[in-house]
Structure 1
Amino acid sequence: MFKLIYMKADYEPWWQFEGWESNIVSINEYETEEQLNDGLNTILEKFRAKYEHEASREDKYYAFWTDAECEFCEACDDDLQIYHGIIIEK
């Protein structure tokens, strides 16, 4: 079983801070690696067209963001960048 996890948070997906699962927007499951790669390519193409910035790590974490998408953090009294993260689980 293969999974593509889409999360949205104020940190990149590779950090996976405690409770990161509460930021999951969707999970797509695939039976084969070929189906996973097709699904990943579709999501990457969509996100690359929508977000101006991209970063990745370890060929299994992808982060996308745009400078205009921030949320105010009262605890830190500052704006926090919002990231759209993709995690691959094999």
Structure 2
Amino acid sequence: MYHVLLTEGPDEPWWFFENWEEQVVEGYTFRTFAQAKAKYIDWYGELEEKYPHVKTKDPYMAAFWQEGEYYYCEECSDDLQCYHGLLILDTRQDKVEPRQKRLCPMREKEEGEN
């Protein structure tokens, strides 16, 4: 099965941090890759029109954003860039492992400075 997922949050979709699934806001499941790819391309076009910035990784992972749209991080009490992620997930292969523990980027910076 192939899943085309739209995520929204402080992380680009390729990080797969712990609990990354909580950032999924919409998704579709398809039996064939061709169907999933068609939905991905359609959704990509819609997001590209709406958001001025895009970064892609691998053939079917993309992050869209616009300056000034932020996600509030309670852990660090700061605003982080909000990303709208788009990806195709192939559940026939384990593409989401290993999951990484999510640590606020601001806390990572502080810990690295010590």
Q: If the length of structure 1 is used for normalisation, what is the TM-score?
A: 0.89
Structure 2 gaps, min length 5: 91-114
- Higher-Rg structure is 2
Q: Percent identity?
A: 33
Task: Give the alignment of 1:32-47 within 5 angstroms.
Answer: 32-47=32-47
2:57 equivalent to 1:61 = no
* Aligned match of 2:76: 76
Structure 1 gaps, min length 5: none
The structure that is strand-richer by fraction is 1
Counterpart Cα distance in 2 of 1:7 and 1:81: 13
Q: Give 1:77 shift.
A: 4.0
Structure 1 stretch 75-84 or stretch 3-12: which is displaced more? 75-84
Corresponding residue pairs, total: 90
Q: If the length of structure 2 is used for normalisation, what is the TM-score?
A: 0.72
Q: Give 1:60 shift.
A: 2.6
